[in-house]
Chains A and B, each alone.
Chain A
Amino acid sequence: MIVVEHLSKDFGPKRAVNDVSFTVQKGEILGFLGPNGAGKSTTMRMLTGFIPPTVGRVTIGGFDVAEDPISAKRLIGYLPESAPCYSDMTVHGFLNFAAEIRGIHGAKREQAIRTAVGLCFLEGVLHQSVDTLSKGYRHRTCLAQAIIHDPEVLILDEPTDGLDPNQKHEIRLLLKRFGQNKAIIFSTHILEEVDAVCSRAIIIDRGRVVANGTPAELRARHKLAGSVALKTHGVAAESIKARLTTLGVVGKVETEATGSQVFVRVFPRDKTVNSELAKAVAQLAAREGWSFEDLRTEEGRLDEVFRSITLPDTVKPSE
């Protein structure tokens, strides 16, 4: 549905987006992650045809955004970063305008407005002027505008920004529901959102794609991913280590003793993340008669993966 090939964008001498390529299929929800200023919004603006790329090509549903922008834009619903709305209009007036310009006419228009209003929980403010709305409502008004024509492609720049936890939850449910038959790209820097919603995530840093995979794959890049943590007491750390290393699936073993309590971290030999290692460790502990109070597989933490592969913007890149 969305095909992005070697997209680059220069602002003067600065390269904001550098050779970004990816595709999004129908039924996929792609999370677009990255530190502030990484090029997320610029990429999204190129996808929606707001700014032309310096190099590269974007195709939406088979239409080249540069060559046939109108056809491509028809397929897209877009929520820009700051969720701008025409503040001199009522919510209904604004959505009516959005529907009209999307070519929805007659009875269908009122129907489309009702549906979008229902999905974005705007019933209570329908006839209120946009400039009297709170940030959350304004955000959802702009989101309603993006989904009013039931687009095949949704491009959402920080759709949950400025919402309270309940609203965030509702929007995530909405995205998941839409994700079944649309191609969705949304940017965020809330990592839990990636786990909750995305089927795939891309991490972009200083204009480049630095990671592209399912949330599980990204978590597996964590240095502790796949390791098993075990808390025991009453057994000498050395003997635990010696016994564990006899197991075939075990790679490195680290121990840390505090009093009679020993904390053990067991790494898998082949760096895979599954429950095999935990099972083997548990069986061994049972055989040896170790008493343990905690045993679990570390899945890896997305935020640490994120931190390890992106540079904070307070650090100057050394290139």
Chain B
Amino acid sequence: MNESLRNILTVGKRELSGYFNSPVAYVFIVIFLALNGFFTFMLGNLLERGEANLDAFLMWHPWLYLFLVPAAGMRLWSEERRVGTLELLLTMPIAAWEAIVGKFLACWIFIALALGLTFPVIFTVGYLGHPDYGTILTGYLGSFLLAGTYLSVTVMTSALTRNQVISFILSVVVCFLLIFAGWQPVTGLLVQWAPEWLVNIVSSLSVMPHFNTFTHGVIDLRAFTFFGSVITFCLFANSVILRGLRGA
């Protein structure tokens, strides 16, 4: 097996077991499922809509993830910094990027597991009518990618501080901007003074249109590229932050 892959797996496995060795995993999963249920059935009125699709379920995910993903990932680096295990990890014979990717994947898999446990909602829409299972699949895929994008931001911000609360808040703010980048009041702030290309760049940073292509059953290469680019950028920024920590 490739050495880098093995290192990523080792780090990831340790991180994942860290979730399940503490109550964090169980509390997170229960709350994730409870909130999903509440939003989907009570606020989204899935049962009264008379539509056999997952819109009432998926439409809440950008907002749910806004708080739950930073909560799941805020400890990834900040805890290592606080306890001092960062020194241990980075003096092991592994590259920093392998540790970053390992941590990121572990947490992503953990969130995917929580997402996977929402499967009864598929049976519900199946009971309601004849859903398009392809759209359901792309919807889940979009939700998974969205979570990964938020998570990459969280991993990055958690390297900035040894305090988990600060790490959480920073992450929420950045993810919030990622949602609202394309929103008129935000672009309106820029339109007054910023050149048009900047306005265009900022408004194209929004995750919402890309997420929506997936929930509409479309697999768009541009959406993949977008999520992939944000994740790559944030993980790279993470490695720069770690290098800065060690250099200072």
How far does the alpha carbon of A195 sit from the alpha carbon of B91 in the complex, in Å?
30
- When the two chains form their complex, are residues A89 and B93 in contact, meaning their CB atoms are under 8 A apart? no
- When the two chains form their complex, are residues B91 and A89 in contact, meaning their CB atoms are under 8 A apart? no
- When the two chains form their complex, are residues B93 and A70 in contact, meaning their CB atoms are under 8 A apart? yes
Residue from B13, B84, B92, B248 in contact with A84 in the complex, judged by beta carbons closer than 8 Å: B84
Do A89 and B92 form a contact, CB below 8 Å, given A50-B87, A52-B246? Answer: no
How far does the alpha carbon of A100 sit from the alpha carbon of B93 in the complex, in Å?
11
The answer, yes or no, to whether A55 is at the interface (CB within 8 Å) is no
**What is the number of contacts between chain A and chain B, taking CB atoms within 8 Å?**
70
The answer, yes or no, to whether B83 is at the interface (CB within 8 Å) is yes
- Chain B residues numbered 60-96 whose CB sits less than 8 Å from any CB in chain A: 83-85, 87-88, 90-95
Q: How far is the CB of B7 from chain A (nearest CB, A)?
A: 7
Residue from A51, A76, A100 in contact with B246 in the complex, judged by beta carbons closer than 8 Å: A51
Residue from A45, A88, A98 in contact with B87 in the complex, judged by beta carbons closer than 8 Å: A45
- When the two chains form their complex, are residues B91 and A51 in contact, meaning their CB atoms are under 8 A apart? no
- When the two chains form their complex, are residues B87 and A84 in contact, meaning their CB atoms are under 8 A apart? yes
The answer, yes or no, to whether A140 is at the interface (CB within 8 Å) is no
Q: How many residues of B contact A (CB 8 A)?
A: 24
- When the two chains form their complex, are residues A85 and B14 in contact, meaning their CB atoms are under 8 A apart? no
**Interface stretch (choices B17-25, B165-173, B222-230):** B17-25
How far does the alpha carbon of A254 sit from the alpha carbon of B81 in the complex, in Å?
58
- When the two chains form their complex, are residues A84 and B85 in contact, meaning their CB atoms are under 8 A apart? yes
Q: How far is the CB of B83 from chain A (nearest CB, A)?
A: 5
The answer, yes or no, to whether B10 is at the interface (CB within 8 Å) is yes
The answer, yes or no, to whether B247 is at the interface (CB within 8 Å) is yes
Chain A interface residue number, banded: 20 to 34
Return the CB mask of A74-98 against B: 1 if under 8 Å, else 0.
1010101110111111000100011
- When the two chains form their complex, are residues B83 and A84 in contact, meaning their CB atoms are under 8 A apart? yes
Residue from A51, A73, A145 in contact with B247 in the complex, judged by beta carbons closer than 8 Å: A51
- When the two chains form their complex, are residues A84 and B14 in contact, meaning their CB atoms are under 8 A apart? no
- When the two chains form their complex, are residues A70 and B95 in contact, meaning their CB atoms are under 8 A apart? yes
The answer, yes or no, to whether B11 is at the interface (CB within 8 Å) is yes
How far does the alpha carbon of A100 sit from the alpha carbon of B247 in the complex, in Å?
28
Q: Kindly report which residue of chain A lies nearest to residue B245, judged by CB atoms.
A: A51
- When the two chains form their complex, are residues B87 and A80 in contact, meaning their CB atoms are under 8 A apart? yes
Residues of B within 8 A of A (CB): 6-7, 10-11, 13-14, 17-18, 21-22, 83-85, 87-88, 90-95, 246-248
If A52-B246, A88-B22, A100-B10 are given as contacts, then 15 extra A-B residue pairs at C-beta distance below 8 Å, sorted by A number, are A45-B87, A49-B91, A51-B246, A52-B247, A70-B94, A71-B93, A80-B88, A84-B83, A84-B87, A85-B85, A85-B88, A89-B17, A101-B11, A102-B93, A103-B6
Residue contacts A-B, CB under 8 angstroms, 24 given:
A11-B248, A50-B246, A51-B247, A70-B93, A70-B95, A73-B93, A74-B93, A78-B88, A78-B91, A80-B87, A80-B91, A82-B84, A84-B87, A84-B88, A86-B14, A86-B83, A88-B18, A89-B17, A89-B18, A89-B21, A93-B21, A97-B10, A101-B11, A101-B93
Residues of A within 8 A of B (CB): 11, 45, 48-52, 70-71, 73-74, 76, 78, 80-82, 84-89, 93, 97-98, 100-103, 129, 142, 145
